Structure 1
Amino acid sequence: MKIVIINYGAGNIQSIKFAIKRLGYDAILSNDVAEIQNADKVIFPGVGEASSAMRKLRDSGLDKIIPNLKQPVLGICLGMQLMCRSSEEGNTAGLGIFDVDVVKFDASVKVPQIGWNQITNLKSPLFTGIKEKEHIYLVHSFYAPLCTETIAECSYGVDYSAALQKDNFYGTQFHPEKSSDVGEKILDNFLNM
């Protein structure tokens, strides 16, 4: 199986690569269009600020490639947020895969949310073997509100989308590569789709 982690200069790519290695697979880091298009599975990571990350995608032409991929694609953290219509962070237009706009947590909670939280309302094969209220690891100040594409929820001052799915596109606000055994199981489920 050919697994490509998109390397566009805004990702937590090494920790994802190590997590995939622990599962017994090898992953390639690449921003090459043909290599991404020919992968069996694509992982779209993201760490940092939305507008600068989106600029890097546009500069490399990947903003046109990613929404048209046909194989399973997993966006992680900022990667998931960039797959949405837009983000309040930097007033950024997203890739428009998920039909929701990313917003900032309000002043009633401390931002960023850093640490462990529980996921609930699991609605996808991505969560096969995962129990309700399992703990996952998050670091974020912005979130995708609940929507028709929500496949898991978290609560932090407000209930929000911990994961999204539309067709072959999946996104997790949390970091599966940092979420211990639960996260590894979710990654394994994705790689076995």
Structure 2
Amino acid sequence: MGQKIAVLDYGMGNLRSVSKAIEHVAPDAQVRVTDDHEWIKAADRIVFPGQGAARDCMAAIGEHHLNREVREAMQNKPFLGICMGLQVLMEFSEENGGTELLGIFPGKVQRFSADMPGDNGLPLKIPHMGWS
């Protein structure tokens, strides 16, 4: 069996799609969707997906007691944050009237204004995935 890859399960994100994508590109890996702290510590690599609002994401991480595991994994092993799983690594988000995040990276996630123009001169659509 190849490397152990933990896909962090804290109740937010399209976990099955993420795990199936990893299995496709790393067929010899042992991929597990988990919130088991021991399995996460034993994993060679960590994938931290997420979707939804910053406040809800932070609450779910806290409910699963994954704050320390995320911090340790970031310092000690290859780590991939996807969508909200990347945003919550910052210190603060303007979302939900302001939300304290994990604080692994300095800085804050800022909301862009609704009238911010895209490359075509028209306002960006919210939610927005990349530039238009």
With the length of structure 2 as denominator, give the TM-score of the two structures: 0.82
Structure 2 counterparts to residues 118-133 of structure 1, below 5 A: none
Give secondary structure in 2 for the equivalent of 1:84.
Answer: coil
**Contact 1:17-1:26 at 8 Å conserved across structures:** no
Give secondary structure in 2 for the equivalent of 1:21.
Answer: helix
**Contact 1:81-1:102 at 8 Å conserved across structures:** yes
Name 2:57's counterpart in structure 1: 53
Give secondary structure in 2 for the equivalent of 1:98.
Answer: coil
Return structure 1 stretches of 4+ with deviation > 4 angstroms: none
**Contact 1:2-1:27 at 8 Å conserved across structures:** yes
Counterpart CA distance in 2 for 1:94 and 1:73 is 17
Give secondary structure in 2 for the equivalent of 1:53.
Answer: helix
The amino acid of 1:20's aligned partner reads I
- Alignment size in residue pairs: 117
Name 2:119's counterpart in structure 1: none
Counterpart CA distance in 2 for 1:84 and 1:12 is 21
**Contact 1:87-1:94 at 8 Å conserved across structures:** yes
Hey, which of these two has a bigger chunk of strand by percent? Answer: 1
What is the CA distance between 1:31 and its match in structure 2?
A: 0.3
Name 2:108's counterpart in structure 1: 101
Structure 2 counterparts to residues 27-46 of structure 1, below 5 A: 27-46=31-50
What is the CA distance between 1:101 and its match in structure 2?
A: 0.3
Counterpart CA distance in 2 for 1:65 and 1:40 is 13
Name 1:73's counterpart in structure 2: 79
Counterpart CA distance in 2 for 1:72 and 1:21 is 17
**Contact 1:5-1:42 at 8 Å conserved across structures:** yes
1:71-126: CA deviation from partner (whole Å, max 9, x where unpaired): 11111000000111111112111111111200112112221114xx4xxxxxxxxx
With the length of structure 1 as denominator, give the TM-score of the two structures: 0.57
Counterpart CA distance in 1 for 2:69 and 2:12 is 17
Give secondary structure in 1 for the equivalent of 2:33.
Answer: strand
What is the CA distance between 1:34 and its match in structure 2?
A: 1.0
Counterpart CA distance in 2 for 1:28 and 1:42 is 10
Counterpart CA distance in 2 for 1:88 and 1:64 is 23
Unaligned stretches of 5+ in structure 1? 118-154, 157-193
Counterpart CA distance in 1 for 2:70 and 2:101 is 11
Structure 2 counterparts to residues 21-32 of structure 1, below 5 A: 21-23=23-25, 24=27, 25-32=29-36
Name 1:84's counterpart in structure 2: 90
Name 2:68's counterpart in structure 1: 64
Q: Percent identity?
A: 34
State the superposition RMSD in angstroms.
1.4
Q: 2:10 aligns with which of 5, 8, 27?
A: 8
Hey, which of these two has a bigger chunk of helix by percent? Answer: 2
The amino acid of 1:82's aligned partner reads V
The amino acid of 2:34's aligned partner reads S
What is the CA distance between 1:64 and its match in structure 2?
A: 2.3
